[in-house]
Amino acid sequence: MGDFVLDDFMIRALVGGCGIALVSGPLGSFVVWRRMAYFGDTLAHSALLGIALGYLLGIGMTAGVIAVCVGIAVLLVLLQEQRQLASDTLLGIVSHSTLSLGLVAIAFMETMRIDLLAYLFGDILSVTWDDIVWIYGGGAVALAVLAFIWRRLLAITVDEDLARVEGMPVLAIRLTFMLLIAGVIAIAMKIVGVLLITSLLIVPAATARRFARSPEQMAGTAALIGMLAVLGGLAGSLVWDLPSGPSVVTSAALMFACSLMVPVPRAA
């Protein structure tokens, strides 16, 4: 058992997964508060197009995903400001269009072998130290930016119209938050895959919401629950030979289900 725990791939998986959980907890809290789950799905689906473009342009998978996710985030903010289509309709169009475009682009790449299932559902056990540098470097930047806009983002979440009246740069803060989500999706893709990333943002935060008494407490608790989900998912994946990404999300879902059975005072 000792040799099993000390395997290098296991250490990398734990370190990388916990790094993602630390960032996704606070960000996921705002996703839950602002009811932006579908927006997260849209960005996650667009990541597959980023993978294809990254390979086609020779700029690398991560750079391609970041570029596409950031572009889609900016486009969505601008289109939502126009108010010509309902947000859910707009998100549905962009989400499925980018996912389909990504799949079509990958189908045309006959000279390159791409493990589509690994990108769709993740493969945390294949995380490299270079990936971990991306995760912790990008995560540190994301948390620093989130800490900087934290109070204003909370104010906008509570009452956006009042924040506008008080002179807050609502559009800039919304765009900044969406870009943070885009960046986290790009660096988390290898952990849980593009189809499950939003789950890692939402489920730990939804679980933490029942127990937290303040926004800050909810963000920290969500990060802790996310790390426990990574640990539980990895254990299940290795013991029962299950796919790693879905195992992590299933672990988080089981903790959420268990939390529903615990009577608690009114959450934050």
| Domain ranges (residues) in the chain | 193-256
Whole-model pTM: value is 0.85
Three-class secondary structure of residue 266 per DSSP = coil
> Do 120 and 112 contact (CB within 8 A), yes or no?
no
Given a cut of 60, is residue 2 above it in pLDDT? Answer: no
Q: What is the pLDDT of residue 24?
A: 92
Q: If 0-12 CB within 10 Å is exposed, 13-18 middle and 19+ buried, where does residue 157 land?
A: middle
DSSP string spanning 52-86?
HHHHHHTS-HHHHHHHHHHHHHHHHHHHHHHTSS-
Three-class secondary structure of residue 1 per DSSP = coil
Q: What is the pLDDT of residue 146?
A: 95
Given a cut of 80, is residue 194 above it in pLDDT? Answer: no
Model confidence pLDDT, tens digit, residues 146-175: 999 999 999 998 888 888 888 888 888 988
Three-class secondary structure of residue 36 per DSSP = coil
Distance CA 177, CA 51 (A): 22
Q: What is the pLDDT of residue 264?
A: 67
Model confidence pLDDT, tens digit, residues 27-76: 999 999 888 878 888 888 888 888 888 888 888 777 888 888 888 888 88
Given a cut of 90, is residue 145 above it in pLDDT? Answer: yes
Model confidence pLDDT, tens digit, residues 198-211: 888 899 999 999 88
Phi-psi region of 243 (alpha: psi -120 to 50; beta: other; left: phi over 0): beta
Given a cut of 60, is residue 266 above it in pLDDT? Answer: no
Distance CA 134, CA 66 (A): 12
Q: What is the pLDDT of residue 268?
A: 46
Of 153 and 81, the one with more pLDDT: 153
Given a cut of 80, is residue 84 above it in pLDDT? Answer: no
Question: At 260, which helix (H) or strand (E)?
Answer: none
b/e sequence 31-54, b meaning 16+ C-beta within 10 Å: bbbeebbebbbbbbbbbbbbbbbb
